[in-house]
Structure 1
Amino acid sequence: MSAGQFPGPIYRDTRDLTPFGGGKVRTPVHEIAEGVGGLIHGVLGGGDSRISVDGSVPRLKLLPGKAARTVYDAIFSSADPNRLIAAGRAYPGWAGLCCVMAGLLAYKQGGYLRAAELLQRGLSIRNDDEANQFAASYLTRVVTRVEVAERIVVPVLFSEESVFLALSHCLRETGQTEAAFETLVRLPPSLPTALARCALAAALGRDQEVVVWTEGLLNADDLSAALLLVRARSLRRLGAYGQAQQALKEVLRRQKTSMSLRNDALTDRALMLLDNGRKSLNPRDWQRGKQGELETFEVIRKDIEARRAWEQKWKQFGGD
């Protein structure tokens, strides 16, 4: 998809309600803390790799059908994707939903290749009305924490966006960058989707599209700050150093921006100065540096002349 097909930004979400929660920037300290916390939690018997739910698990209505009971138990009471796959085989009208949920479960557990296969299979299968009604009744609180860009994680309630963003991340992790990008094309505009798409577009060298899609973006939260960093890097590769500088300045403007993102902005600004070379430095600083170099050369020249004069006198006195 070319930039011409998207003449304006793609990060503006006009919906009153969206499936997205607040984004989080992963840092090495957070990952260590989470790892230690997870280890302690597991030792104490509290480890849980089942589907995540926002709040409590919804109660199953009285006298459910056998298919609904089987799928409900496989989703909320098990951490094994194979159980959902078996439920889908037992009830073909539910196979699409079961494969999608098995894919989200595998995604949570870090099995990106298997998750991609299951999600793609689930999206290709049509569900019965009963399965669709089950999803609308019981899966609205299911949460998938999706890595929309490197180190940026966003919790997404069960929806088209949670499935396609998770699938895109799986494809990215397995080296299928172009397919990961195409997976997001049909999703509605939103900041998390824009960050995911722009990060992939930048990786594919489609910097002009990134610039068009992020025009007018301001730093309102860490997601927008991360997207501004992607914009700045694309502008830098296009040679638009002035606009890139403005994007980095916007990242640094908001004091509550994640320290990790602020450090990235400072690093990018330093790299941009190196790209620009001495033209980007203050002319007075450059002249001062040049004068210092000349003074150094002058001292070296005088030292060489003094040594030559001393050697000549030594030879006059019969020195070897």
Structure 2
Amino acid sequence: MKTVSQRTVGGPDVLRTVETEMPQPAAGEVLVRVVATSINAADWKLRSGVVDRLGPPPFTLGLDVSGVVAEVGPEVSEFRPHDAVFGMVFGANAEYVVAPVTALAPKSPGLDHTNAAALPTAALTAWQALTDVRPGDRVLVHAAAGGVGHLAVQLAKARGAYVIGTARTINHEHLRRLGSDEVIDYTTTDFTTAVAPVDIVLDLVGGEYGARSLRVLKPDGRLIDAQGNNAADDPRYRRHYVRPSGADLREIATMVTAGRLSVDIDRVMSLADIAEAHRLSESGRVRGKIVLTAWNTPT
């Protein structure tokens, strides 16, 4: 089967399509034929060595999958061959990937593979980070037009929050349609002087945004850091790491099919063009997600 692999860390050109053996599902796992996957910031950070959590190459990246169950392992009753599923599964930049059933959710007919592939990591990050949002909370979302940010805006609004987003002016109208009550252009305005105190900050930028965000956070507020910022010494700081969850994805899928949540897709490409997809993602100029379809795999 085809797999995207890399033998060294570096730029997008280290990504190569290679032939590998078909993986076999163990107990509690299924083999999924990949129809589509998508790019997350973690992909290019791992590829380039900015984040070092995988050990030395070679390895295969990819965190999102939407596809069809090809084979089930022992002790699996949740899914059967030919079931359409989606989930957060590492190694999805391939024609097939093995996934634990706990990381997958059924893909309903009302959710196509393109949208399903764009959701898992980004939607789970926003969903899990904002579990404590209550009606009336003031929530500030940094990088609100990005893959996680635009979903966080919608989820915070669905939970009754007053939502403020930072994004370039070109994205303001779209963010207002998604539910943002205020939008600030971070390239022209210092948000620390433009935002009244908030209950929650979701930092999807990191770095010095941490300490700056503390300036607009209420004394009993929460700074949720999904990127790694410079505010870890503050008692209001919380480091957030996304975790795979088929149960959460079932709830997310229900919202999508009911029209209460939508995922922005910047463009659809092929896994054959994954190097260019990484370049685009790394540029920081993508609105929403880049989805990659699997070579010539039929839908």
Q: TM-score range by the shorter chain?
A: under 0.3
Q: TM-score, normalised by structure 2?
A: 0.26
The structure, 1 or 2, with the larger RCO (C-alpha pairs under 8 Å, 6+ apart) is 2
Q: Name the structure with the higher strand share.
A: 2
The structure richer in helix per residue is 1
TM-score, normalising length: structure 1: 0.25
| Largest Rg, 1 or 2 | 1
